[in-house]
Amino acid sequence: MSILVFVEDWNGVYKKASFEAVGYAKSWASMIDAKVVAVTSTQAPAAELGGYGADHCIQIELGQTAMGIAGQLEALSSSASGVVIAGTSLGRSVAPALAALKDAALSTNTISLPLGTAPFQIKRGAFSSKSIETIELSGASPIISFVPNSIGIKVTSGEGAVETQEISSLELLKVIGTEVASGKVALPEAEAVVSGGRGLKGPENWGIIEELAEVLGAATACSKPVSDIGWRPHSEHVGQTGIQVNPNLYIAIGISGAIQHLAGVSASKTIVVVNTDPEAPFFKAADYGIVGDAFEVVPKLVNALRAFKAAS
């Protein structure tokens, strides 16, 4: 028996969510006495995966699109007891495509390890993560797409055998070109995110967001209207219709906290809100709130953090 896990890399470097995915698969596999089979690209350092729980690594020339990769995973998972895919931007496209190809049950937005395997139950965020539901998945090979940073990484001492296979991919789309977002820290992977909204008044005021991000080693993000008006690039737009983030720290500055914004950020471990309006909805979702003018509060935060860093 095996649990198959898709392990994503970026230019030959594994993402944090990739190690988390392998650990997820290991925990599930140990519940049913199965092996963990990791599927990864030929460019990635597959041997590393043994240290996170992979028993066997299959390197393939990955397809260019989510549909192509899903077809390859379908071919490799015919006898698997389940499949694990991290809910990254790519993973969130691959998982439903694979579920359709395999006619298998899929849990997206999953935030727990399996609660039990017979029946197979899991917890997931529902209604834009406003509630948590427990669901039961039927069928021989359920697919789990989990929220990155919700389970954590587990380091083990194992070593996985690595082999290369040739699995062709049926591509219905062709990638003509790729533009890489320019931020210093990649937003979907960031441990900390500093995000600005319409309360910043204009693009010329983003210096304070960037300064705070720099001192924290954080990525920058923004609300949808901010990218719609062109103050910031669309690659920074977070929320229901943008990127979903799960950092350890999310600082929202001059953002009201509309439900569509919260849908993409509420999985963050700690949320700090800076807003002039004490009635702003975001304060209800905040762990820490500062009622104040961003143009006064943020420079003070930057100075305090710099002083703290210099002293420690």
Ligand X SMILES: Cc1cc2nc3c(=O)[nH]c(=O)nc-3n(C[C@H](O)[C@H](O)[C@H](O)COP(=O)(O)OP(=O)(O)OC[C@H]3O[C@@H](n4cnc5c(N)ncnc54)[C@H](O)[C@@H]3O)c2cc1C
Interface residues toward ligand X, by CB under 6 A: 197-199, 223-226, 239-242, 254-256, 258, 260-261, 264, 274-277, 280, 293-295
**88 vs 275 by CB, closer to ligand X:** 275
The span from the CA of 233 to the CA of 218, in Å, is: 17
**158 vs 225 by CB, closer to ligand X:** 225
**Smallest gap from residue 165 Cβ to ligand X (A):** 39
**Smallest gap from residue 222 Cβ to ligand X (A):** 7
**Smallest gap from residue 240 Cβ to ligand X (A):** 4
**Contacts for 8 with CB less than 8 Å, ≥ 6 apart:** 14, 15, 17, 18, 21, 40, 86, 88, 90, 91
Residue closest to ligand X (Cβ): 239
**258 vs 305 by CB, closer to ligand X:** 258
The span from the CA of 115 to the CA of 106, in Å, is: 15
**121 vs 205 by CB, closer to ligand X:** 205
**91 vs 242 by CB, closer to ligand X:** 242
**Smallest gap from residue 96 Cβ to ligand X (A):** 19
**Contacts for 89 with CB less than 8 Å, ≥ 6 apart:** 188, 243
Closest CA to 208 of 294, 308, 307, 310: 294
Determine the distance from the C-alpha atom of residue 180 to the mean position of all C-alpha atoms in its chain, rounded to a whole number.
Answer: 18
**109 vs 256 by CB, closer to ligand X:** 256
Query: How many angstroms separate the Cα of 238 from the Cα of each of 18, 111, 264, 291, 294?
Result: 21, 20, 6, 22, 19
**Smallest gap from residue 304 Cβ to ligand X (A):** 18
**18 vs 256 by CB, closer to ligand X:** 256
Closest CA to 72 of 84, 82, 63: 63
**Smallest gap from residue 298 Cβ to ligand X (A):** 9
Main-chain dihedrals φ then ψ at residue 276, nearest 5 degrees:
-70, -25
The span from the CA of 114 to the CA of 134, in Å, is: 10
Task: Label the pairing between strands 270-275 and 249-253.
Answer: parallel
**Smallest gap from residue 180 Cβ to ligand X (A):** 22
For residue 213, the tally of other CB atoms under 10 A from its CB is 25
Main-chain dihedrals φ then ψ at residue 275, nearest 5 degrees:
-155, 140
